[in-house]
Chain A
């Protein structure tokens, strides 16, 4: 695989391959010294035009555990502030000899644009409200680990919140659907994208209607600027209708799991303390983030011989 930019580009086969190889990476991460030489000599640059803590750190940790060199680019200290164009930035970094760009940008489509200007691989770490494929990989891997089976057939996944502006939702809708789950979206109409009737999902505007039949409850972060844009009257009303309250948490099936991509807005979409939830996967999501990103980096950067040597490493 050359790039990892969207779930659609990965396809079901790619998705399953990466989830399987995440198991191997997780094994490495359980070792006392979680580091293998698989990507020695490879250079990975994180090109983050938008703030991020967990995604950037988990990519950099993943690269280091595979012994790749890492470079970090952050907009606040770069020539972008001197008016350098995206193209010039990418070409300049390419000239330094990098093998992969991990890109986050507030504009949808940037990972595709960048691919025109470099031969390096592109890993999408979030483009606008479009895609965040490694988060969806993390989430699918985490659910598979929790339910203990390969297929998601018959699994009811409910995604709640600001679907319209969420790249996590878009990637997860594709990924969970590809693996056989039935996805239901829950949001006020103003936070639902137009034309979702053409998506392979069910749509509801009431969390209360669907919570009892949910197997995976996926809560999205609500940004307070949605209120300023007039998309919701206020955060309190939103929380009352779409937040995970104690009462709603009690209506979850005992087997149901709760997820959140972070960072959480406590008191808005998360009223209940996740520590009080018996089946919260929120910490698992973060922990699995490193393994998944190792799998992605390895898939994108390793070639034949290196794949075999890693297998030997893992077996050893």
Chain B
């Protein structure tokens, strides 16, 4: 019994080709102009669609353990699968934090139990994300953790960050930084701009991000260690990363769909749906981020999917937690916002993030016979609008309600199994 993807355009090493794809035992077993299904084969109609490697999200908050009322590994995995993802890097700001082998193993096990995507737990850089003492990076790396971050906050102490980078260099892992000098963002609600001044709320200046980007670029120069910058949000950060790459430093960066598409003015409504960290910025920042994504300065689109229960988002704007959903809308927002080619889209949504997270042996590979079948089938032209009631996520804090998006996920195949069929999760 095979899975057959029928009628699609497949992105292969030699470009886009009209091919049918057969999958057996988790692996692509045949690619040819026309495959005739046998009795019992599962046939996925993919007319007018593209077959791409499954997307890889470098930045997902699955909330389990600790905040299962806003998301669980299962519901987040389902949201991911519906968004075309076959791998999610789970951020470590859980309770308890992902700084020890038992927690990492728990997250992995819950991911396997859900069986919808590969859940890839990131490890903490410092114990409890407290920024004081290094987490057991080598022990965690030996247990398969490939990417480390204190996301939710940045590592404030430059001496700790220097040690983390020196220590990690020979472990073959990636350190990922949430760039925010927290002394400059105390109480911040939104971008520091004329809106924040009118609203009388503390602003989050671009400087707070750019100082840490600059610091860590200098540390990469000093230590030779790799550094990945999470959710860049300012024009200045894009400039710094572009210069660092020009100088040959081992830096990579990601941007979120919301930082590519939404501006600070939305906060004028005092609607905490638009509160996110780092905050929504100006039109000029958006333009710089798009340019950075198109010219390769920014390697990946990552969602920073951050579910929150309604009662928390109903707190006053200054008390409500930051964050918005992203997994189910990422493709549509990116395609509706940035003029990417199919190859560029695949690079930023799949190939590059798979490489950064050390998943290239299983994810982010263009379709070819013998390769693992982690794929998504997407209609790049289909228009749809977001209905919060039909989201798979346990939370509904999406800022894209009612927006028309272009680009829709039709099927997702994870380890050879159809986990999403015609947009409907199968598990």
Task: List residues of chain A with CB under 8 Å of any chain B CB.
Answer: 85-87, 105, 107-110, 112-113, 128-131, 165-167, 170, 193-196, 198-199
A107 and B317 within 8 A (CB): yes
- With A87-B314, A113-B317 already in contact, 15 other A-B pairs whose C-beta atoms are closer than 8 Å: A85-B315, A86-B316, A107-B316, A107-B317, A107-B319, A109-B316, A113-B314, A113-B316, A128-B201, A130-B200, A130-B201, A170-B200, A193-B200, A195-B197, A199-B197
State in angstroms the CA–CA spacing of A109 and B269 once bound together: 8
Of listed B200, B269, B315, residue having the most chain A CB within 10 A: B200
Within 8 Å of chain A (Cβ to Cβ): is B134?
no
B198 and A85 within 8 A (CB): no
Within 8 Å of chain A (Cβ to Cβ): is B6?
no
A194 and B317 within 8 A (CB): no
Nearest CB of chain A from residue B318's CB, rounded to whole Å: 5
Closest to A174 in B: B198
Nearest CB of chain B from residue A116's CB, rounded to whole Å: 9
Kindly list chain B residues whose C-beta atoms are within 8 Å of the C-beta of A105.
Answer: 316
Within 8 Å of chain A (Cβ to Cβ): is B71?
no
A193 and B197 within 8 A (CB): yes
**Can you list 25 A-B pairs with a CB-CB distance of less than 8 A?**
A85-B314, A86-B315, A87-B311, A107-B317, A107-B318, A107-B319, A108-B199, A108-B200, A108-B270, A108-B316, A108-B317, A108-B318, A112-B269, A113-B316, A128-B318, A129-B200, A129-B201, A130-B199, A165-B200, A166-B200, A194-B193, A194-B196, A194-B197, A196-B197, A198-B194
State in angstroms the CA–CA spacing of A85 and B318 once bound together: 15
Could you tell me how many residues of chain B have their Cβ less than 8 Å away from some Cβ of chain A? Answer: 20
Kindly list chain A residues whose C-beta atoms are within 8 Å of the C-beta of B203.
Answer: 194
State in angstroms the CA–CA spacing of A194 and B190 once bound together: 13
Within 8 Å of chain A (Cβ to Cβ): is B328?
no
Closest to B197 in A: A193
Closest to A193 in B: B197
Within 8 Å of chain A (Cβ to Cβ): is B192?
yes
State in angstroms the CA–CA spacing of A196 and B319 once bound together: 25
State in angstroms the CA–CA spacing of A128 and B194 once bound together: 17
Nearest CB of chain B from residue A91's CB, rounded to whole Å: 11
A110 and B316 within 8 A (CB): yes
Kindly list chain B residues whose C-beta atoms are within 8 Å of the C-beta of A194.
Answer: 192-194, 196-197, 203, 205
Given A112-B270, A113-B270, A198-B194, A128 and B314 contact (CB-CB distance below 8 Å): no
State in angstroms the CA–CA spacing of A86 and B317 once bound together: 12
B194 and A195 within 8 A (CB): yes
Chain A facing B: main interface SS: loop
Closest to B314 in A: A87
Nearest CB of chain A from residue B63's CB, rounded to whole Å: 20
| B317-338 interface (Cβ within 8 A of A) | 317-319
Of A87, A109, A199, which one neighbours B199 at CB under 8 angstroms?
A109
B193 and A128 within 8 A (CB): no
Of listed A105, A108, A110, residue having the most chain B CB within 10 A: A108
Kindly list chain B residues whose C-beta atoms are within 8 Å of the C-beta of A170.
Answer: 198, 200
A195 and B200 within 8 A (CB): no
Nearest CB of chain A from residue B205's CB, rounded to whole Å: 8
Give 6 nearest A-B pairs by CB, closest first: A109-B270, A129-B200, A107-B316, A193-B197, A195-B194, A130-B200
| B243-279 interface (Cβ within 8 A of A) | 269-270
Of A109, A112, A195, which one neighbours B193 at CB under 8 angstroms?
A195
Closest to B189 in A: A108
Kindly list chain B residues whose C-beta atoms are within 8 Å of the C-beta of A193.
Answer: 197, 200
B199 and A85 within 8 A (CB): no
Kindly list chain B residues whose C-beta atoms are within 8 Å of the C-beta of A86.
Answer: 314-316
State in angstroms the CA–CA spacing of A86 and B270 once bound together: 15
State in angstroms the CA–CA spacing of A113 and B82 once bound together: 32
Nearest CB of chain B from residue A90's CB, rounded to whole Å: 10
State in angstroms the CA–CA spacing of A133 and B86 once bound together: 53
Closest to B316 in A: A107
State in angstroms the CA–CA spacing of A107 and B193 once bound together: 18
- The 8 A CB mask of B193-215 against A (1 = contact, 0 = none) is 11011111101010000000000
State in angstroms the CA–CA spacing of A112 and B199 once bound together: 12
- The 8 A CB mask of B265-308 against A (1 = contact, 0 = none) is 00001100000000000000000000000000000000000000
Kindly list chain B residues whose C-beta atoms are within 8 Å of the C-beta of A87.
Answer: 311, 314
Nearest CB of chain B from residue A54's CB, rounded to whole Å: 20
State in angstroms the CA–CA spacing of A129 and B316 once bound together: 13
Closest to A111 in B: B270
Of listed B194, B270, B316, B317, residue having the most chain A CB within 10 A: B316
State in angstroms the CA–CA spacing of A209 and B319 once bound together: 40
State in angstroms the CA–CA spacing of A194 and B316 once bound together: 22
State in angstroms the CA–CA spacing of A199 and B319 once bound together: 27
Nearest CB of chain B from residue A206's CB, rounded to whole Å: 21
Closest to B195 in A: A195
State in angstroms the CA–CA spacing of A167 and B311 once bound together: 27
Kindly list chain A residues whose C-beta atoms are within 8 Å of the C-beta of B315.
Answer: 85-86
| B342-375 interface (Cβ within 8 A of A) | none
Closest to A173 in B: B198
Kindly list chain B residues whose C-beta atoms are within 8 Å of the C-beta of A166.
Answer: 200
State in angstroms the CA–CA spacing of A129 and B189 once bound together: 13
State in angstroms the CA–CA spacing of A107 and B205 once bound together: 20
Of listed A131, A193, A198, residue having the most chain B CB within 10 A: A193
Kindly list chain A residues whose C-beta atoms are within 8 Å of the C-beta of B192.
Answer: 194
State in angstroms the CA–CA spacing of A86 and B310 once bound together: 13
Closest to B196 in A: A194
B314 and A109 within 8 A (CB): no
Nearest CB of chain A from residue B181's CB, rounded to whole Å: 16
Nearest CB of chain A from residue B94's CB, rounded to whole Å: 24
Kindly list chain A residues whose C-beta atoms are within 8 Å of the C-beta of B201.
Answer: 108, 128-130
Kindly list chain B residues whose C-beta atoms are within 8 Å of the C-beta of A195.
Answer: 193-194, 197
State in angstroms the CA–CA spacing of A86 and B319 once bound together: 12
Kindly list chain A residues whose C-beta atoms are within 8 Å of the C-beta of B314.
Answer: 85-87, 113
Closest to B200 in A: A129
Nearest CB of chain B from residue A195's CB, rounded to whole Å: 4
Kindly list chain A residues whose C-beta atoms are within 8 Å of the C-beta of B270.
Answer: 108-109, 112-113
Nearest CB of chain B from residue A275's CB, rounded to whole Å: 32
Kindly list chain A residues whose C-beta atoms are within 8 Å of the C-beta of B194.
Answer: 194-195, 198-199
